[in-house]
Amino acid sequence: MRNLLKYLVLSAVIMAMPVLAQAADKIGVVNSQDVVMNSEAGKRAMQELQNKANAKQQELTRQSDELKKMDENFRKQSVTLSAEAKAKMQSEMETKFKKMMDDQNTFNQQMGQEQTKVLEPLMKVFDQVVAEYAKKNGFSMIVERRAVLFVGSGLDVTADITKDFEAAAKRGK
Protein backbone atom coordinates (compact mmCIF):
# COMPACT_ATOMS: atom_id res chain seq x y z
CA MET A 1 0.00 0.00 0.00
CA ARG A 2 2.82 2.39 0.89
CA ASN A 3 4.67 1.63 -2.31
CA LEU A 4 1.52 2.24 -4.32
CA LEU A 5 1.12 5.65 -2.68
CA LYS A 6 4.76 6.49 -3.42
CA TYR A 7 4.32 5.55 -7.08
CA LEU A 8 1.16 7.60 -7.37
CA VAL A 9 2.82 10.68 -5.88
CA LEU A 10 5.91 10.18 -8.05
CA SER A 11 3.72 9.78 -11.16
CA ALA A 12 1.82 12.95 -10.31
CA VAL A 13 5.07 14.90 -9.89
CA ILE A 14 6.48 13.57 -13.16
CA MET A 15 3.29 14.43 -15.02
CA ALA A 16 3.25 17.94 -13.49
CA MET A 17 6.87 18.73 -14.40
CA PRO A 18 6.16 19.96 -17.95
CA VAL A 19 3.40 22.19 -16.62
CA LEU A 20 5.69 23.58 -13.91
CA ALA A 21 8.50 24.12 -16.40
CA GLN A 22 6.17 25.95 -18.77
CA ALA A 23 4.70 28.07 -15.96
CA ALA A 24 8.15 29.11 -14.84
CA ASP A 25 9.26 30.65 -18.12
CA LYS A 26 12.58 31.97 -16.99
CA ILE A 27 14.16 31.47 -13.58
CA GLY A 28 17.32 33.06 -12.25
CA VAL A 29 19.28 32.96 -9.05
CA VAL A 30 21.08 35.74 -7.20
CA ASN A 31 23.36 35.79 -4.19
CA SER A 32 21.94 38.77 -2.31
CA GLN A 33 24.73 38.77 0.25
CA ASP A 34 27.38 39.06 -2.46
CA VAL A 35 25.48 41.85 -4.17
CA VAL A 36 24.89 43.95 -1.07
CA MET A 37 28.04 43.27 0.96
CA ASN A 38 30.46 43.61 -1.95
CA SER A 39 28.92 46.83 -3.22
CA GLU A 40 30.40 50.21 -2.33
CA ALA A 41 27.26 51.08 -0.37
CA GLY A 42 27.42 47.77 1.50
CA LYS A 43 31.10 48.22 2.30
CA ARG A 44 30.41 51.73 3.63
CA ALA A 45 27.53 50.41 5.74
CA MET A 46 29.69 47.64 7.19
CA GLN A 47 32.50 50.10 7.92
CA GLU A 48 30.01 52.35 9.71
CA LEU A 49 28.89 49.39 11.81
CA GLN A 50 32.49 48.43 12.54
CA ASN A 51 33.33 51.96 13.66
CA LYS A 52 30.36 51.97 16.03
CA ALA A 53 31.34 48.57 17.39
CA ASN A 54 35.03 49.33 17.94
CA ALA A 55 34.63 51.77 20.84
CA LYS A 56 32.28 49.51 22.77
CA GLN A 57 34.37 46.44 21.98
CA GLN A 58 37.40 48.19 23.48
CA GLU A 59 35.43 48.88 26.66
CA LEU A 60 34.36 45.22 26.87
CA THR A 61 37.96 44.10 26.34
CA ARG A 62 39.10 46.45 29.10
CA GLN A 63 36.48 44.99 31.46
CA SER A 64 37.59 41.46 30.58
CA ASP A 65 41.26 42.28 31.16
CA GLU A 66 40.39 43.86 34.51
CA LEU A 67 38.54 40.71 35.54
CA LYS A 68 41.49 38.53 34.54
CA LYS A 69 43.82 40.63 36.67
CA MET A 70 41.43 40.47 39.59
CA ASP A 71 41.24 36.69 39.23
CA GLU A 72 45.04 36.39 39.12
CA ASN A 73 45.38 38.56 42.23
CA PHE A 74 42.71 36.54 43.98
CA ARG A 75 44.49 33.27 43.20
CA LYS A 76 47.82 34.64 44.41
CA GLN A 77 46.40 36.15 47.58
CA SER A 78 43.80 33.51 48.43
CA VAL A 79 46.22 31.58 50.62
CA THR A 80 46.95 34.60 52.82
CA LEU A 81 43.52 36.27 52.81
CA SER A 82 40.98 35.87 55.54
CA ALA A 83 37.64 34.25 54.73
CA GLU A 84 35.97 37.65 54.92
CA ALA A 85 38.46 39.23 52.49
CA LYS A 86 38.11 36.27 50.10
CA ALA A 87 34.32 36.59 50.14
CA LYS A 88 34.57 40.33 49.51
CA MET A 89 36.92 39.84 46.54
CA GLN A 90 34.75 37.07 45.08
CA SER A 91 31.65 39.22 45.46
CA GLU A 92 33.40 42.12 43.75
CA MET A 93 34.53 39.87 40.88
CA GLU A 94 31.04 38.42 40.48
CA THR A 95 29.54 41.92 40.36
CA LYS A 96 32.03 43.02 37.70
CA PHE A 97 31.50 39.81 35.74
CA LYS A 98 27.72 40.29 35.76
CA LYS A 99 28.14 43.90 34.63
CA MET A 100 30.44 42.80 31.83
CA MET A 101 27.97 40.12 30.71
CA ASP A 102 25.09 42.63 30.82
CA ASP A 103 27.18 45.10 28.82
CA GLN A 104 28.02 42.35 26.30
CA ASN A 105 24.34 41.40 25.89
CA THR A 106 23.33 45.04 25.52
CA PHE A 107 26.10 45.54 22.97
CA ASN A 108 24.98 42.51 20.96
CA GLN A 109 21.38 43.72 20.93
CA GLN A 110 22.39 47.24 19.95
CA MET A 111 24.62 45.97 17.15
CA GLY A 112 21.82 43.78 15.83
CA GLN A 113 19.51 46.79 15.80
CA GLU A 114 22.18 48.94 14.16
CA GLN A 115 22.82 46.30 11.52
CA THR A 116 19.12 46.16 10.71
CA LYS A 117 18.92 49.95 10.62
CA VAL A 118 21.92 50.27 8.31
CA LEU A 119 21.16 47.34 6.00
CA GLU A 120 17.38 47.68 5.70
CA PRO A 121 17.53 50.60 3.22
CA LEU A 122 20.07 48.68 1.13
CA MET A 123 17.86 45.60 1.09
CA LYS A 124 14.92 47.73 -0.09
CA VAL A 125 17.05 48.99 -2.97
CA PHE A 126 18.15 45.42 -3.67
CA ASP A 127 14.52 44.21 -3.78
CA GLN A 128 13.61 47.03 -6.19
CA VAL A 129 16.61 46.31 -8.40
CA VAL A 130 15.79 42.59 -8.58
CA ALA A 131 12.14 43.31 -9.42
CA GLU A 132 13.12 45.77 -12.16
CA TYR A 133 15.77 43.41 -13.53
CA ALA A 134 13.33 40.50 -13.61
CA LYS A 135 10.68 42.57 -15.38
CA LYS A 136 13.14 44.07 -17.87
CA ASN A 137 14.73 40.69 -18.71
CA GLY A 138 11.61 38.51 -18.76
CA PHE A 139 12.24 36.50 -15.60
CA SER A 140 9.19 35.02 -13.97
CA MET A 141 11.22 34.19 -10.86
CA ILE A 142 14.56 35.08 -9.29
CA VAL A 143 15.42 33.12 -6.16
CA GLU A 144 18.13 33.38 -3.51
CA ARG A 145 21.21 31.38 -4.54
CA ARG A 146 21.68 29.87 -1.08
CA ALA A 147 18.21 28.28 -1.30
CA VAL A 148 19.15 26.30 -4.42
CA LEU A 149 21.35 23.22 -4.35
CA PHE A 150 22.30 23.25 -8.02
CA VAL A 151 22.31 26.03 -10.58
CA GLY A 152 22.90 25.41 -14.26
CA SER A 153 25.09 27.75 -16.23
CA GLY A 154 23.50 30.98 -17.28
CA LEU A 155 20.96 31.09 -14.46
CA ASP A 156 23.06 33.05 -11.94
CA VAL A 157 22.28 36.74 -12.47
CA THR A 158 24.31 38.01 -9.49
CA ALA A 159 26.85 39.91 -11.63
CA ASP A 160 24.15 41.74 -13.62
CA ILE A 161 22.17 42.61 -10.52
CA THR A 162 25.35 43.80 -8.79
CA LYS A 163 25.90 46.35 -11.58
CA ASP A 164 22.30 47.53 -11.39
CA PHE A 165 22.45 47.65 -7.59
CA GLU A 166 25.63 49.76 -7.63
CA ALA A 167 24.00 52.22 -10.02
CA ALA A 168 20.79 52.39 -7.96
CA ALA A 169 22.70 52.84 -4.70
CA LYS A 170 24.72 55.69 -6.21
CA ARG A 171 21.51 57.39 -7.34
CA GLY A 172 20.30 57.06 -3.78
CA LYS A 173 17.25 55.14 -4.87
Q: In what helix (H) or strand (E) does residue 28 lie, and over which residues does it extend?
A: strand 27-30
- Give me the half-sphere count of Cα atoms (radius 13 Å) on the Cβ side of residue 120: 6
Which residue type does 54 have? N
Cα separation, 126 vs 166, whole angstroms:
10
Distance linking the first and last C-alpha atoms of the chain: 58
Q: What is the DSSP string of 100-152?
A: HHHHHHHHHHHHHHHHHHHHHHHHHHHHHHHHHHHHHHT-SEEEEGGG-S---
Cα separation, 131 vs 51, whole angstroms:
33
Cα separation, 53 vs 23, whole angstroms:
47
pLDDT of res. 152: 83
pLDDT of res. 14: 55
pLDDT tens series, the chain, 173 aa? 444 344 434 444 455 455 445 555 789 999 999 999 889 989 999 998 999 899 889 989 999 999 999 999 888 888 888 889 889 999 999 999 999 999 999 999 999 999 999 889 999 999 999 999 999 999 999 999 988 888 888 899 999 999 999 999 888 75
CA–centroid distance for 63 within its chain: 27
- Cβ neighbours, 10 Å, residue 126: 24
